[in-house]
Amino acid sequence: MDYFLELFLGGLTRGSIYALIALGYTMVYGIIELINFAHGEIYMIGAFTALIAASVLAIMGFGPVPILFLAMLLAILYSCAYGYTLEKIAYKPLRHSNRLAPLISAIGMSIFFQNYVLLAQTSDFLPFPSLLPEVPFLEPYAYIIRSSEIFIILTTLVVMVLLSLLIRFTRIGKAMRATAQDRTMAMLLGVDVNRVISVTFVIGSAMAAIGGVLIASHIGQINFYIGFIAGIKAFTAAVLGGIGSIPGAVLGSLVLGWTESFATGYISSDYEDVFAFGFLVLILIFRPAGLLGKTAAQKV
């Protein structure tokens, strides 16, 4: 039972990280119907920013908690700047062209970011300091769950609640929903759609950066390639849940996290990806639109 619980919580942790990234994919898709393949790289850039910031702050003599918050804040700001610029440079000029053009542009930006960080930093794995606080009273249960995992799950939960409040109740949230449902009509009602798209990229980037810092701190090392792998997994999760659907992205991420965790725990860690993607294939055969996705209505 303890073993099951450990795998369950491990899967929940993985799923939480996937969800933070998957939301960026699904929100962008919901608004401009683009798979932003460079999104994983934004997450990687967030982790690198946090590493650099944490190193500098440690030299300056800050304690662990201020380092965590400042490094997280800088990672968010830096990633948001990247996400915003990415959209303006690589996607906005292509908005009225063939749907394949921005997709190719996205793949290009993904490769560009990976190689840029490879050249500017290093190709080696870099050790990442453990920024997440250890909670002493949890130590007896460390064989089931680490306190960093609890921290990841709770942070994700808070971010999700804030996001859903933002989308449901605020002026910009309403504009985002309207733009996703009918972009032309939103424009005609006075919504500045370019701004809504920018805000969507910025929010997605901020969540990816949070995910990047959390997972880097949990695993303890990063390199330029982590964004690609995490991006593919989160994209899978978004498709699994139904791309374009926000609850779908969260559900898909959790399902994927658990599938991987249980496959690793009960069968073999070699089969982790086989089960994750095998499950995706099964879902897509029986529910092509994903778990919570709507079959796309033909626009007249």
Partner 1 sequence: MTALLSTTHLTMDFGGLRAVDEVNLEVRQQEIVALIGPNGAGKTTLFNCITGLYRPTSGDIFVQAPGAAPKRINGLKPNQVTALGLARTFQNIRLFPHMTVLENVMIGRHCRTTSNILGAVLKDRHTRREEQETVAFSYRLLEKVHLDRYVNELARNLPYGAQRRLEIARALATEPFLLLLDEPAAGMNPLETRELDDLITRIRNEMGIAILLIEHDMKLVMNISDRIFVMEYGKEIAVGTPLEIRSNPRVIEAYLGADSHA
- Site residues, partner 1 (CB under 8 A): 166, 169-175, 177-178, 181-182, 184-193, 199, 300
- Residue 280 and residue 236 in contact, taking contact as beta carbons nearer than 8 Å: yes
Residue closer to partner 1 by CB (options 47, 197) is 197
Residue closer to partner 1 by CB (options 134, 192) is 192
Residue closer to partner 1 by CB (options 154, 165) is 165
Residue closer to partner 1 by CB (options 157, 185) is 185
CB of 177 to partner 1, least distance (A): 6
Gap between the Cα atoms of 257 and 15, Å rounded: 4
What SS3 state is found at 70?
A: helix
What SS3 state is found at 221?
A: strand
CB of 300 to partner 1, least distance (A): 7
Helices marked H in the chain: 2-32, 39-59, 64-86, 100-120, 147-169, 171-181, 183-188, 193-219, 226-241, 246-266, 272-286
Residue closer to partner 1 by CB (options 167, 219) is 167
- Residue 91 and residue 105 in contact, taking contact as beta carbons nearer than 8 Å: yes
CB of 178 to partner 1, least distance (A): 5
Angle of the 2-32 helix axis to the 246-266 helix axis, nearest 10: 150
CB of 279 to partner 1, least distance (A): 28
CB of 166 to partner 1, least distance (A): 7
Q: Which is nearest to 253 in space by CA: 185, 202, 207?
A: 207
CB of 242 to partner 1, least distance (A): 14
Q: How far is CA 23 from CA 39, 202, 240, 245, 250, in A?
A: 10, 12, 12, 9, 7
Residue closer to partner 1 by CB (options 58, 193) is 193
Q: Which is nearest to 146 in space by CA: 155, 159, 133, 157?
A: 133
CB of 247 to partner 1, least distance (A): 13
Residue closer to partner 1 by CB (options 158, 185) is 185
